[in-house]
Amino acid sequence: MKQSSIRSTVSTKRVESSKGDMMSHEFKVEDVEYVRHGDTGFLARLYRPQGAGPFPIVVELHGGAWCRSDRLGDTVIHEALAKSGVIVAALDWRQPPAAPYPASFQDIHYGIRWIKAKAKELGGRADAVGVAGNSSGGHQAMLIAMRPHDKRYSALPNPPGASGVDATVRCVIMTSPVIDPLGRYRYAKERKAQGKTDLLDVLPSHDAYWGTEAAMDEAAPASVLDRGEKVEMPPVLYLQGTEDIAHPRPHLDRF
């Protein structure tokens, strides 16, 4: 594993309010290879507001049942944050079948340390890094924030120039997270048994990423709290609709 400095500029955007006031930042977008495993590099798409700074930073984690999608999945969120003056690092990471749990957490943990090490260069604040995620990305955001010192997740050595940098974050934003992987897995099985087809793709993804129900429960944030693990608990913004079939409300309430 090594970190590369490959870059490609994607675009520059500027948005004005309808009244003509500058309510939004111009921002630059570029893809940067932040980590490499063997012959495969993994990219971070960086959204960099232009202006005085330094800006806060959000590491954003896409959804896709831990097995699908990529850093482009939540572009509408990335752009909105960048317009408001937040640097966004949207990460790709290893996925099944080649890399089940906890590989993605290792890459995300590394990515947080990487962006902290580059914060000054990017016009950001290393002391104001948060993590956000949608669906399975929301689950990963919460768990990595709770367990920044977990040796399984911190297995990759620090990026160049990041001596002493850790993966702690200042806040978490979750949108419709799979906050209870085991609960969602059993819920999807129940719906399948009832002849409902809306969550059929969930089951093979859970199996591919987690392997066992024990692993799903071990990595469920509510179960972590129930077991009394010593964890970090930064401020959390939890966003979920009341009619969200894929993410049952009782799982939110339990957490």
pLDDT along the chain (255 residues), means of 10: 51 48 81 97 98 95 97 96 98 98 99 97 97 98 99 95 92 96 95 92 96 98 95 96 81 83
Query: What per-residue confidence (pLDDT) applies to 2?
Result: 47
Say what the pLDDT of residue 15 is.
Answer: 45
Whole-number Å distance between alpha carbons of 197 and 161: 49
Give CATH superfamily name and number for 7-254: Alpha/Beta hydrolase fold, catalytic domain (3.40.50.1820)
Which pLDDT score is estimated for 75? 96
Half-sphere exposure of 175 (CA within 13 A, CB side): 10
In this prediction, residue 17 carries a pLDDT of 38
Residue 201: its H or E element: none
How far apart, in Å, are the Cα atoms of 199 and each of 203, 230, 254?
8, 34, 21
What pLDDT, on a 0 to 100 scale, did the predictor assign at position 12? 56
* pLDDT score for 130: 99
CA–CA separation, 103 and 108 (whole Å): 9
Global confidence as pTM:
0.90
The torsion angles phi and psi of 184, rounded to 5 degrees, stand at: -70, -35
